[in-house]
């Protein structure tokens, strides 16, 4: 194992950069790109235990794993022990995932109302019972993604973490916000440090990690084993490789060029079309395309055009037109400066 590698159970992870599960985003096309940029560990988007229990075709399709993706964590959510055990067994025996994660951090109302996600932070004993039952039913390591508490009156990250470790969890990912904060306000890395100090299993720090410098600061402040990056990767998977390199060498790599961004946007679109068909794939690509072009000259006009594309050809046309306009603008600027 290298200096920056670490383990979850018997699964070796080459570096300290982990990609968070993001609903509607972390499909195989997106994960492929994250792996290409050297992510140490990738999570799938969360799947419902009930959907797996009732053999929902779309959900079963979400459990496919490509050989390039290892190590990969597949995440399930639910609150009923029987169906959670069924879903975990299915992932254990019928998918190629390496780790099974239980979501106890999702703050979305629909998930909370079913007693899953962050709602489990309000019932530590039931949360621990789910983990214990799943750990006993599967061979793969079981992890939990959680928050520092449900709200300011229930900052129970430490007691929750201790119970989950005792129940057999192999690692924890801790988002430094409460459920009530959703994704607002500032992530509290000190509260994540308190969790790390309270358990002996690996802990990943999550929340407000957008740059390589953020990653190093979070690791130093919390003593955690790895950083988990979510929204910071959208449209900027270069930040994965930059963070891996920065943590290993201390050198800050160069930013991605417009050409590189456009090349990757085209590849991402092509993968989404292969995965979901052109109509659905390109509709999903609208959001990703907007992230890829963020920060470019007059990007609002470009984003507006991309928001209305329906085909892969539309994407090509929009990007090609923009590239030509940029060439002219830069040439005119250079002439003006002579």
Task: Find out whether 221 is annotated in a ligand binding site.
Answer: no
The Cα 225–Cα 196 span in angstroms is: 9
| β-bridge partners, 100 | 74, 142
Task: Find out whether 147 is annotated in a ligand binding site.
Answer: no
Task: Find out whether 177 is annotated in a ligand binding site.
Answer: no
Contact 230, 26 (CB under 8 A): no
Task: Find out whether 175 is annotated in a ligand binding site.
Answer: yes
Distances (CA, A) of 322 to 94, 270, 313, 327: 46, 19, 14, 9
Task: Find out whether 301 is annotated in a ligand binding site.
Answer: no
Distances (CA, A) of 309 to 63, 314, 315: 29, 6, 7
Task: Find out whether 268 is annotated in a ligand binding site.
Answer: no
The Cα 110–Cα 105 span in angstroms is: 13
Task: Find out whether 154 is annotated in a ligand binding site.
Answer: no
Tokens 């085909």 locate to 311
Task: Find out whether 74 is annotated in a ligand binding site.
Answer: no
- Spatial CB neighbours of 303, under 8 Å, sequence gap ≥ 6: 289, 290, 293
Phi/psi for 56 (5° steps) reads: -60, 125
Phi/psi for 258 (5° steps) reads: -60, -40
Distances (CA, A) of 279 to 56, 144, 215, 268: 22, 35, 37, 14
Label residue 56 exposed, middle or buried (CB < 10 Å: 0-12, 13-18, 19+): middle
Contact 13, 202 (CB under 8 A): no
- Residues assigned a catalytic role: 106
Q: Is the peptide bond before 71 cis (omega within 30 degrees of 0)?
A: yes
The Cα 114–Cα 83 span in angstroms is: 13
The Cα 172–Cα 101 span in angstroms is: 9
Binding residues for FMN: 21-23, 75, 145, 175, 230-231
Binding residues: 21-23, 75, 145, 175, 230-231
């Amino acid at each position: 194992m290298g200096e920056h590698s670490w383990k979850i159970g018997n699964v070796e992870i080459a570096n300290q950069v982990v990609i968070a599960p993001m609903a509607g985003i972390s499909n195989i096309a997106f994960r492929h790109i994250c792996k290409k940029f050297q992510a140490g560990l990738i999570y799938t988007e969360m799947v419902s235990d009930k959907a797996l229990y009732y053999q929902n075709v779309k959900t079963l399709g979400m459990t496919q794993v490509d050989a390039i993706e290892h190590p990969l964590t597949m995440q399930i959510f639910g609150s009923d022990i029987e169906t959670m055990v069924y879903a975990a067994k299915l992932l254990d025996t019928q998918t190629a995932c390496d780790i099974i994660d239980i979501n106890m951090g999702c703050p979305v109302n629909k998930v909370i109302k079913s007693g899953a996600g962050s709602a489990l932070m309000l019932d530590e004993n039931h949360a621990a019972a789910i983990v214990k039952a799943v750990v006993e039913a599967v061979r793969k390591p079981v992890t939990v993604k959680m928050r520092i508490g449900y709200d300011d009156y229930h900052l129970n990250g430490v007691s929750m973490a201790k119970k989950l470790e005792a129940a057999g969890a192999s690692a924890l990912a801790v988002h430094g916000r409460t459920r009530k904060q959703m994704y607002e306000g500032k992530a509290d890395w000190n509260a994540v440090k308190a969790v790390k100090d309270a358990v002996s299993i690996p802990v990943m720090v999550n929340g407000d990690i957008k740059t390589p410098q953020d990653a190093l600061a979070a690791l130093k402040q919390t003593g955690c084993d790895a950083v988990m990056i979510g929204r910071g990767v959208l449209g900027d998977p270069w930040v994965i490789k930059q963070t891996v390199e920065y943590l290993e060498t201390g050198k800050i790599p160069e930013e991605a060029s417009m050409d590189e961004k456009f090349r990757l946007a085209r590849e991402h679109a092509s993968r989404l079309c292969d995965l979901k068909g052109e109509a659905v794939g390109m509709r999903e690509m609208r959001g990703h395309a907007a992230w890829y072009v963020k920060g470019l000259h007059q990007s609002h006009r470009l984003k507006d055009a991309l928001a209305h594309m329906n085909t892969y050809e539309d994407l090509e046309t929009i990007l090609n037109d923009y590239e030509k306009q940029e060439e002219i603008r830069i040439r005119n600027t250079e002439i003006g400066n002579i």
